[in-house]
A and B are shown apart, each in its own frame.
Chain A
Amino acid sequence: MAVFFIAFAVVVSNLFLGALAFSKNPKSATHRLFLLLTVILALWAVANSISVTVQSKEDIFFWVKAVMVITSAMFSTIYLLSATYPHNNFILPKKWVLLTVVITFVTQILVVSNQVFQRVDFANGIPAPVSGSGMVVFAANILGFFTLSIITLIKKYRQALGMEKTQLKYLLFGIITTFVLTNLTNFIFVNVLHLTEFVAIGPAFTLLLVGSISYAIIKHRFLDIRLVVARTVSFASLLGLLGILYALFFAYLSVIFSKASIEVRTVAVSTILALIMAFSFQYIRRILEKITDKFLYQNHYDPSKLLYDLALIMSSTLRLEDLTHQILQKLLKEMRITRGALILTEQGYIYQVASEGYSKIPELDEEKISSLMSPKQTIIMEELTETDARKELMRSLDLTVVEPLYSESHDIGLLVLGEKLSGDLYTPEDIRVLEILAPEVAVAIQNARSYEEIRRFNVILQGKVAQATSSLSIANDKLQELDKLKDDFVSVASHELRTPMTAIRSYAWMALHKSDIPLSDRLKKYLDRTITSTERLIKLVNDMLNISRIESGRVEILPEVFNIQTFVSDIFMEVGVRAKEKNLLLKIIYSTIPKVFADRDKVHQVLLNLIGNSIKFTPDAGIITVSFFSDGNSIETSIEDTGIGLDSGDLPSLFKKFSRLDNSYISSAASGGTGLGLYICKNLIELMGGKIWAKSDGIGKGAIFTFSLPVATNNILANSQNFIKKVNGGARMLEPVAI
């Protein structure tokens, strides 16, 4: 009976572990070999238990041979597993694998052809197999592969690091103890001491192998099936215990009620049934869970599609915040992960955390970041040893996987993920996807940051430009205001100046003309000069007032179309009296010219100024001639006199403010000039879109002053707004020119 219990336990635990490992990664050679080994161990347990139960010589011999066929393959499988572990491909050369298979096969042929055990004898009623010459080959097979396995594993153990080392330790322990003990009971005892009583318990020792592998799995994530095993073991133990209790209770009740001694077999059958029920319950539950899983969340994702989708997100999203959230959302949805976060750092300092699914953003300080960042490789919480400080840290923050993000030059941050929705562990495929993804995410984040920086810089720049513009416009407004204040001051000041000047001139005039005593010639001369100087002073104030108005932009230009030739003849009427006093001839040379487009009042001001100058500087009986010329675009008006003329050196400074003519024969004092008239003319002509210039052949040879004005063409009239200058509030008229 005990034989079957042992066999049952061995079969169940072996097949369970094998199937579980295989289902986790069916393509991996290691997982496949592990499954094969568990199947062999299970078969051995079954065959072995039968071989010690059957009675007839022939049956015993048959089952002994079955046991030997199975064990022939056992250590070669262990060897292949040892050599392959933990890789997913066969790393042994094909020749070696083939040789292993051939050796196994040869051994098995020897067993079948009765060369290992020739027959079974009964010694004292106990069956004793008689070994043959093939036993040497069999022993060599077992010992050889065992030794090879141990050597291979020790070699690997020496090179392995961390978790893998621990796993290999358990694997080694399991293989050695199982080999030694099963060899004792099933080989040495049988062949050397001819003791077969212990054969039955042989398979039980494989539980050591299974147990140590399980321990490696549970404690150290061997073959990625830790969590399921942990759950199943606790569940299975509970149900197993319940099954046994049920069986015993059943037996007890049977004894009481049927009053008959219950057969051991009945108890055994019911116990087995109970256990099957118990174990199958777990299995069915798993299947149901899987179905609901599939129903609730898509069970499996396509890694290449996920990577492609994420690459699309990364290439199409420029804003950092959108990018981080979209990556997380996609990743969590597809991999079915409870929560995750992207913690971005700059020189070790966190500057942004994007999280999805965390009710509270994982609190990481710079120190913790650097501890998770330093090895620059994926950290999986289960793989860390209990003594590792990071394990406690990750556990407290609900982090299952930490993926560092870094570029060639510097660290970018961390991708941290919580556990999966299903409660499963991260598969090697998941980890591989994350490892492929990490550098891409790092680059995308870096790009997004650069973009963000440029964007921010643009915003700052725009702000600065706006600020500069506004302060400039404030400054401009202030300047305009100051200009206005200046103009207002000049206006008031000139008014205040002109009142006493008018009084001086008036009383001087009265003294000269209405005196009640006869005046001497000298006194008359003094009074005359007083009057002339006062008049000059009044003109000066007027001119300064005009300049102030022009310079502060308070003079309006309102152009109209008019005939400048008739306009000049009107002005000749105005100055006629003065010209007559000096016996001057005023002449207009008429020509066929178009009309001008200019401000009538301003042209009046300019002509009065220029003709007034000519009158002033031309001796008695001189001639003043005004002539016109047009090229179709502009009209040139020239005022020519036979006056004192100009030195060529004076020409450039003629139109400047307070230009003093060094070479002029007549002082400005005597002429009553202000030195401002031509400056005003130049400004007014330019405001109207024309030019002014002077020519002279030298002192005593007369002078020609010419100014141009635009012709009133259709084109200019169509764009007349370019010639109009309006003043917003407070436009000022010009002080009249005194001849």
Chain B
Amino acid sequence: MDIQGNAGKKILIIEDDQFLREFYQELLQTEGFIVDTVADGDTASYRIHEGGYALIVLDIMLPKKDGLQVLRDNRANPPKSPNGPIVALTNLGQDAVIKQSFELGCAGYMIKSALNPDQVLTEINNYLQSAKK
């Protein structure tokens, strides 16, 4: 699966739903990625600030602090060590929110319900690949 040679890269998954969070974690770990998971906006901000991730997958609807606010904080307070692209993970087909997340520095978005697990992997590899360039 790891045709692009992305294995071993650190990926941060920010997702409040436990089953989905663990699903993404398992899916990516099987592919050889080092995966950190976070369930709320506050911790997400902290981890992003610490930095060092090749890719960050950020859910927009989060407890304590929503994804858009996490993006804003990231902008106002740059991470200690640089991060790779941030990809919005959402179930909302609202262009307003998607547009906002792009404006706040997202490299792209994934609609959870629209993607099969293999499609998710394809997307993630694509983002990692484009980040290399």
Chain B residues near A474 (CB, 8 Å)? none
Chain B residues near A734 (CB, 8 Å)? 93
Q: Are B93 and A736 in contact (CB under 8 A)?
A: yes
Residue from A499, A509, A538, A735 within 8 A of B117 (CB atoms): A509
Residue from A503, A514, A738 within 8 A of B19 (CB atoms): A503
Residue from A499, A545, A732 within 8 A of B17 (CB atoms): A499
Chain B residues near A503 (CB, 8 Å)? 17, 19-20, 23
Chain B residues near A506 (CB, 8 Å)? 20, 23, 27, 116-117
Q: Are B91 and A499 in contact (CB under 8 A)?
A: yes
**B95 near A: Cβ within 8 Å?**
yes
As a 0/1 sequence over residues 85 to 98 of chain B, the CB contacts with chain A under 8 angstroms (1 = contact) are: 00000011111100
**A498 near B: Cβ within 8 Å?**
yes
Chain B residues near A542 (CB, 8 Å)? 93, 113
Chain B interface residue count: which class? 20 to 34
**A87 near B: Cβ within 8 Å?**
no
| Chain A residue at minimal CB-CB distance from B20 | A503
CB distance from B100 to the nearest CB of A (A): 13
| Chain A residue at minimal CB-CB distance from B26 | A510
A738 with B118, Cβ < 8 A, contacts A495-B92, A499-B17, A502-B20 known: no
Query: A509 CA to B111 CA in the complex, in Å?
Result: 17
Chain A residues near B92 (CB, 8 Å)? 491, 495
Query: A15 CA to B86 CA in the complex, in Å?
Result: 130
Most chain B CB atoms below 10 A, which of A500, A502, A538, A736: A502
Which residues of A480-515 have CB atoms within 8 Å of chain B's CB atoms? Answer: 491, 495, 498-503, 505-507, 509-510, 513-514
| Chain A residue at minimal CB-CB distance from B23 | A506
**B10 near A: Cβ within 8 Å?**
no
Q: Are A502 and B112 in contact (CB under 8 A)?
A: yes
Query: A738 CA to B119 CA in the complex, in Å?
Result: 14
Chain B residues near A491 (CB, 8 Å)? 92
Q: Are B118 and A499 in contact (CB under 8 A)?
A: no
CB distance from B28 to the nearest CB of A (A): 12
Query: A164 CA to B133 CA in the complex, in Å?
Result: 130
Chain A residues near B96 (CB, 8 Å)? 733
Which residues of B48-102 have CB atoms within 8 Å of chain A's CB atoms? Answer: 61, 91-96
| Chain B residue at minimal CB-CB distance from A531 | B116
CB distance from A297 to the nearest CB of B (A): 85
Q: Are A510 and B117 in contact (CB under 8 A)?
A: yes
Q: Are A510 and B17 in contact (CB under 8 A)?
A: no
**B126 near A: Cβ within 8 Å?**
no
Q: How many A-B residue pairs have CB under 8 A?
A: 58
Which residues of B24-51 have CB atoms within 8 Å of chain A's CB atoms? Answer: 26-27, 30
Query: A736 CA to B91 CA in the complex, in Å?
Result: 11
**B114 near A: Cβ within 8 Å?**
yes
| Chain A residue at minimal CB-CB distance from B24 | A506
Which residues of A704-739 have CB atoms within 8 Å of chain B's CB atoms? Answer: 732-736, 738
Q: Are B93 and A733 in contact (CB under 8 A)?
A: yes
| Chain B residue at minimal CB-CB distance from A504 | B19
Q: Are A501 and B93 in contact (CB under 8 A)?
A: no
Which residues of A411-464 have CB atoms within 8 Å of chain B's CB atoms? Answer: none
Q: Are A513 and B114 in contact (CB under 8 A)?
A: no
CB distance from B39 to the nearest CB of A (A): 13
As a 0/1 sequence over residues 526 to 559 of chain A, the CB contacts with chain B under 8 angstroms (1 = contact) are: 0000000000001000100100000000000000
Q: Are B117 and A513 in contact (CB under 8 A)?
A: yes
Residue from B20, B30, B113, B118 within 8 A of A538 (CB atoms): B113
CB distance from A484 to the nearest CB of B (A): 15
Most chain B CB atoms below 10 A, which of A499, A500, A505, A738: A499
Chain A residues near B30 (CB, 8 Å)? 514
Q: Are A498 and B91 in contact (CB under 8 A)?
A: yes
CB distance from B32 to the nearest CB of A (A): 14
A498 with B113, Cβ < 8 A, contacts A507-B23, A510-B23, A733-B94 known: yes
Chain A residues near B91 (CB, 8 Å)? 495, 498-499, 502
Most chain A CB atoms below 10 A, which of B111, B113, B114, B116: B113
Q: Are B94 and A732 in contact (CB under 8 A)?
A: yes
| Chain B residue at minimal CB-CB distance from A730 | B96
Query: A48 CA to B28 CA in the complex, in Å?
Result: 157
Q: Are A498 and B61 in contact (CB under 8 A)?
A: no
Q: Are B23 and A736 in contact (CB under 8 A)?
A: no
Query: A297 CA to B27 CA in the complex, in Å?
Result: 115
CB distance from B110 to the nearest CB of A (A): 11
Chain A residues near B94 (CB, 8 Å)? 732-733
Query: A525 CA to B96 CA in the complex, in Å?
Result: 40
Chain A residues near B116 (CB, 8 Å)? 505-506, 509
Chain B residues near A499 (CB, 8 Å)? 17, 20, 91, 112
Query: A733 CA to B111 CA in the complex, in Å?
Result: 14
Chain B residues near A501 (CB, 8 Å)? 113
Q: Are B27 and A498 in contact (CB under 8 A)?
A: no
Residue from A513, A733, A735, A736 within 8 A of B118 (CB atoms): A513
CB distance from A694 to the nearest CB of B (A): 27
Q: Are A495 and B61 in contact (CB under 8 A)?
A: yes
Chain B residues near A500 (CB, 8 Å)? 17, 19
Query: A538 CA to B111 CA in the complex, in Å?
Result: 12
Query: A499 CA to B91 CA in the complex, in Å?
Result: 7
Query: A498 CA to B92 CA in the complex, in Å?
Result: 10
Query: A502 CA to B61 CA in the complex, in Å?
Result: 15
12 new A-B contacts, CB < 8 A, other than A498-B113, A500-B17, are A495-B61, A502-B112, A502-B113, A503-B19, A503-B20, A505-B113, A506-B23, A514-B117, A545-B93, A733-B94, A733-B96, A735-B93
A-B pairs, 3 with minimum CB distance:
A735-B93, A733-B95, A503-B19
Residues of B that sit less than 8 Å from A by CB: 17, 19-20, 23, 26-27, 30, 61, 91-96, 111-114, 116-118
Identify 29 residue pairs between A and B in the complex whose beta-carbon atoms are under 8 Å apart, listed by A's number: A491-B92, A495-B61, A495-B91, A498-B91, A499-B17, A499-B112, A500-B17, A501-B113, A502-B91, A503-B20, A503-B23, A505-B113, A505-B116, A506-B23, A506-B116, A507-B19, A509-B116, A509-B117, A510-B27, A513-B118, A514-B30, A514-B117, A538-B113, A542-B93, A542-B113, A733-B93, A733-B96, A735-B93, A738-B114
